Amino acid sequence: MKNKLIALSLLLLSFVPAKALEEFEHEIESTVFVPKGVWVGGVSVSYSQSTQNNYQFFVLEHLKGDTYSFKVSPMVCYIFKDDMGAGGRFAYTRSLTKLETADIVLDAETEVNMENLYRLSHDYYFTGIFRNYFSLNSSKRFGFFNELQLQLGGGQSKLMQGKGTSLTGNYERNFSFDVGIAPGLAVFLNNYSAVEVQVGVLGFSLRDTKTITDQVYVARRKAMAANFYINLFSINFGVSFYL
């Protein structure tokens, strides 16, 4: 009798119309970090200088000379859509190395001596950029951005060694093409200025260099490279203004 009641109950339930399932929608909150129509401008400047006088470090001995490097990079970007912008960046770098003496001592019988080394280089870079911003936990003060970079550059350098009749030198001209992705962090200090930290992650580079030695010999070399890792040597700090 009990089994018959259970079977009858299941039969009756089969005729009861199932309740329509309610539609479910994800409520994802979207916070605009940089609104449309904003101009972003900034500049980063770096300078370093060092002087050595009879300096010793591991295999280097009797190092005497001085070096300096300088880099300036202005940037402008227009936000054509909420959290999306496009623009460009220009960079100029200059470095100088003057080495009077240096000894590389590997062991008691292996020693390399260098004297009167002079190197000066200038490089110029033009970069087209595309940026995509997004806020950190709906914050309007802290946010991330991803920057796609397309860079063309070139420069020249000269290297001289020795003096008098033993003087020899190289003159180089180079051209470079780079494509990369550089994510970063933006921290707004107020409504119009922010501090940015940026690091290169992915990239492809092509470099073509022409070398003239002693104004007689001509050589050329090409190099291509692709990297898919975080490049700690490409970390950049700068200040940007949002107007």
Which helix (H) or strand (E) is 6 found in, with range? helix 2-14
Q: What percent of the chain has pLDDT over 70?
A: 80
Give per-residue burial for 211-240: e unless 16+ CB within 10 Å, then b: beeeeeeeeeeeeeeeeeeeeeeeeeebeb
**Bridge partners (DSSP) listed for residue 220:** 210
Backbone torsions φ then ψ of 165, nearest 5 degrees? -70, -15
pLDDT of residue 49: 81
Instruction: Tell whether the model's pLDDT for residue 30 goes beyond 70.
Output: no
**Bridge partners (DSSP) listed for residue 173:** 156, 210
User: What would the pLDDT profile of 44-60 be if each residue is shown by its tens digit?
Assistant: 878 888 887 776 666 66
Find, among 206, 209, 188, 201, the residue nearest to 227 by Cα.
201
User: What would the pLDDT profile of 61-118 be if each residue is shown by its tens digit?
Assistant: 677 788 888 888 888 999 999 989 999 999 999 998 888 777 777 766 666 777 778 8
Instruction: Tell whether the model's pLDDT for residue 188 goes beyond 80.
Output: yes
Instruction: Tell whether the model's pLDDT for residue 159 goes beyond 70.
Output: yes
- Our CA angle for 104, 107, 111, nearest 5°, is 35
